[in-house]
Structure 1
Amino acid sequence: MTLRTGRHFLQIPGPTNVPDSVLRAMAAPVIDHRGPEFAELTHRLLAALSPVFGTESPVIVYPASGTGAWEAALVNTLSPGDRVLCFETGHFASLWRTMAVGLGLDVDFVPGDWRHGADPEALAARLAADPAHTVKAVCVVHNETSTGVTSRIAEIRAALDAAGHPALLLVDTISSLGSIDYRHDDWGVDVTVAGSQKGLMLPPGLSFNAVSEKALRASETARLPRSYWDWQPVIEANRKGFFHYTPATNLLYGLEEALRLLAAEGLPEVFARHARHAAATRAAVRGWGLEVLCADEREYSGSLTGVLLPEGHDADKVREIVLERFDMSLGAGLGRLAGKVFRIGHLGHFNDLTLAGTLAGVQMGLELSGVPLASHGLDAALDILRTP
């Protein structure tokens, strides 16, 4: 086994690097999850989570991956045979659709090219063709982790409002929350789905639903089977500072510290930092003469950048060389993008020098892989990073 020195560059778009202070917080002893100290922790956490989601509605925490939060969003609001509208924006949007079908929902899947986000005009057309309001929910991935494309949720909400359509709006923010501006209340989202392992700078293991009053009313009549995922017992227990299941105590310690870090930096500053690093990364890609996968500048992701390689070149080979030579992990192309795309994660606990090192490693890996490229990609990124 090759001996590695220095830090490993984990530049996949999640799980992301965990700050040292979060790791230290997680190392604290476990406490009684039925005791008063834990109740105080729960109340502090729920209060600190609200501004990150941009909501005054309940935020429900599960010991689960983001996939669990997907399921919770569906089973708490819908009944067998309900019609839902989903947008094919990438691999994870497709997986959410697969889950919905498996749960017995009737899914209307709006096709996409994986280079654009959810189309508000396409939504408006679908809603106009549904005067009977048979569509019960619209499911959108805010930031598609497989592509680096961010859907315009405010415009999706506007299309629903313009149509006067009562469908619920369910939004996946797994790779955008804490990295890209998001507003659950202002954008009229009914259920926001999130996970701990990306912008929240934690290991995998926690997932979240932020839930509107409209979604809570829908849960009273929804008939999809639910037990572990049922919102009501969690909300009831949270009022007293507890959970109706055994919580992931040490992850909650880490969450409190991660939320403290976000608040100390300030969310607007966090979003600006991510946008700046994303712009520098795209400058590097174009400086290499390569193509950013996202095709609409309004939908550029602050969390990650998908890089499309020329025909005849294997993105996985680039990733393999970068890992072997420079001890850096890049995101693979998923689904229909396998071998065609690699993904550079630039989210979470991240700074200018980390990005500069990341892009230097990518440039060297591309050169060693025989991908034809111009040599000024890194310089183009540094020009942006030099600017305060």
Structure 2
Amino acid sequence: MVRLNSHPSGRHFLQIPGPTNVPDRVLRAIDHPTIDHRGPEFQQLGKKVLADVRKIFQTVQPVVIYPASGTGAWEAALVNTLSPGDRVLMFETGHFASLWKKMAEKLGLQPEFLVGDWRHGVDAAAIGAHLVADSAHAIKAVCVVHNETSTGVTSDIAAVRRAIDAAGHPALLLVDTISSLGSIDYRHDEWGVDVTVSGSQKGLMLPPGLSFNAVSPKAIAAMSSARLPRAFWGWDEIIEANKNGYWSYTPATNLLYGLSEACDMLLEEGLANVFARHQRHAEAARSAVRAWGLEILCQNPAEYSPALTAVLLPEGHNADALRKVVLQHFNMSLGQGLSKLSGKVFRIGHLGDFNDLTLMGTLAGVEMGLALAGIPYRPGGVQAALDSLRATAVPHGLNAA
């Protein structure tokens, strides 16, 4: 008699939208012996990592690296630039935008939360109108999420920047790229972002444990008047130490080895090719969802996420029950629905160290799971994805550059 809870054969399919699968090259790099973080060997590593990570953010400005989760980088972005009682304009795109707003409240800020439906991205026109009405310039920052991990919706950051500029408003622009950096085209300098927040465990293909703030000169200048308490999170001492390749505290040395290798992998592939690869896999995944007769949570095709797809199940069917079936039978983890979406959606991560075969194994597991879980669907999603991949195949040796 076969027991489903016996040790499964084969590898576990981790197809949540982060943490993502860590490539062998990165695992081997992290496996290096720990070195003296005040010595010359570390200095060489530090200078390389700090230079390479700027290329990933597409910035020439400093990138501050913390031994923390993305939540820490959220806090760092706020406490380095703002003061108690400051008004901040935020937009409800999903679970993580809502959590950032709650953090702002806990820190003593006054967030103005523009309501969203969790199926669309940031409304840049609404941001602009709100700023135009703020003639006294009481709003000190606009905080938005580039790729909302809970919904699979991507927002147009360049449009938000244009709206701020058109309003003639001096507010800082703070952007969360935790599930988009290294997966979706993102341009810190070109888009005029003041603080970009990110984390290591998604498109950067690392384990959790590193977080980032890319900071503009305007953001650094804001530190001089920002009065929210900060000690560990303060940019100034870290940036000063970074000039010589060091940190003002003990850094996560072995994760920095991994970050160096991850940057090498992304830059070897070429960022344009990385972004094109993610777009191609995302469209194939959505082709499968459409063929199954299921609904993509994101309602605006221009805002579809290249990093993940959130799939809405028919009324009366529980997405967590489907996820349980898929895990028990196929040893595959799919992302759960968060807060408002609990039990209503499952999320397919297609980001990071990912290729055609990984995608097809994932979609095959989903299609078999739909049948076993008794979810009404039309067979053929796997074939639709295959057709999509075949139509967009890139010959070996060619790239998007």
Task: Please report the TM-score for the alignment, with normalisation by the length of structure 1.
Answer: 0.99
Residue of structure 2 in register with 1:124 after alignment: 128
What is the CA–CA distance in structure 2 between the aligned matches of 1:182 and 1:18, rounded to whole Å?
Answer: 22
Residue of structure 1 in register with 2:86 after alignment: 82
**Does the alignment pair 1:199 with 2:200?**
no
What is the CA–CA distance in structure 1 between the aligned matches of 2:6 and 2:96, rounded to whole Å?
Answer: 34
**Does the alignment pair 1:209 with 2:217?**
no
What is the CA–CA distance in structure 2 between the aligned matches of 1:4 and 1:252, rounded to whole Å?
Answer: 33
Q: 1:162 aligns with which of 163, 166, 172?
A: 166
Cα distance, 1:241 vs structure 2: 1.1
Cα distance, 1:298 vs structure 2: 1.0
What is the CA–CA distance in structure 2 between the aligned matches of 1:365 and 1:261, rounded to whole Å?
Answer: 33
Partner letter of residue 52 of structure 2?
A
Superposition misfits of 4+ residues, deviation over 3 angstroms:
none
RMSD after superposition: 0.6
Q: For 1:174, what is the secondary structure of its paired residue?
A: coil
Residue of structure 2 in register with 1:287 after alignment: 291
Residue of structure 2 in register with 1:258 after alignment: 262
Cα distance, 1:131 vs structure 2: 0.8
**Does the alignment pair 1:313 with 2:317?**
yes
Partner letter of residue 175 of structure 2?
V
**Does the alignment pair 1:3 with 2:14?**
no
Q: For 1:322, what is the secondary structure of its paired residue?
A: helix
Equivalent runs, 1:137-148 vs 2, <5 Å: 137-148=141-152
Cα distance, 1:376 vs structure 2: 1.5
What is the CA–CA distance in structure 2 between the aligned matches of 1:244 and 1:49, rounded to whole Å?
Answer: 19
What is the CA–CA distance in structure 2 between the aligned matches of 1:36 and 1:97, rounded to whole Å?
Answer: 42
Q: For 2:90, what is the secondary structure of its paired residue?
A: strand
**Does the alignment pair 1:242 with 2:246?**
yes
What is the CA–CA distance in structure 2 between the aligned matches of 1:276 and 1:23, rounded to whole Å?
Answer: 26
Partner letter of residue 63 of structure 1?
P
Count, aligned residues: 388
Cα distance, 1:99 vs structure 2: 0.1
Q: For 1:64, what is the secondary structure of its paired residue?
A: coil
What is the CA–CA distance in structure 2 between the aligned matches of 1:184 and 1:81, rounded to whole Å?
Answer: 27
User: Where does the alignment leave 5 or more consecutive residues of structure 2 unmatched?
Assistant: 394-401
**Does the alignment pair 1:96 with 2:121?**
no
User: Where does the alignment leave 5 or more consecutive residues of structure 1 unmatched?
Assistant: none
Residue of structure 1 in register with 2:275 after alignment: 271
Equivalent runs, 1:9-88 vs 2, <5 Å: 9-88=13-92
**Does the alignment pair 1:347 with 2:347?**
no
Cα distance, 1:143 vs structure 2: 0.2
Cα distance, 1:207 vs structure 2: 0.2
> Percent of aligned pairs with the same residue?
70
What is the CA–CA distance in structure 2 between the aligned matches of 1:299 and 1:182, rounded to whole Å?
Answer: 14
Q: 1:230 aligns with which of 230, 234, 238?
A: 234
What is the CA–CA distance in structure 2 between the aligned matches of 1:94 and 1:2, rounded to whole Å?
Answer: 39
Cα distance, 1:66 vs structure 2: 0.2
What is the CA–CA distance in structure 1 between the aligned matches of 2:390 and 2:302, rounded to whole Å?
Answer: 24
Give deviations 1:233-282, integer Å, cap 9, x for gaps: 00011111111111111100001000000011000000000000000011
What is the CA–CA distance in structure 2 between the aligned matches of 1:127 and 1:297, rounded to whole Å?
Answer: 27
Cα distance, 1:121 vs structure 2: 1.1
Cα distance, 1:51 vs structure 2: 1.2
Give deviations 1:206-253, integer Å, cap 9, x for gaps: 000000000000011100000000000000111111111111111000
Q: 1:190 aligns with which of 188, 194, 198?
A: 194
What is the CA–CA distance in structure 2 between the aligned matches of 1:157 and 1:248, rounded to whole Å?
Answer: 33
Cα distance, 1:125 vs structure 2: 1.3
Partner letter of residue 344 of structure 2?
K
What is the CA–CA distance in structure 1 between the aligned matches of 2:46 and 2:7, rounded to whole Å?
Answer: 42
Residue of structure 1 in register with 2:389 after alignment: 385
Partner letter of residue 61 of structure 1?
I
Partner letter of residue 96 of structure 1?
W
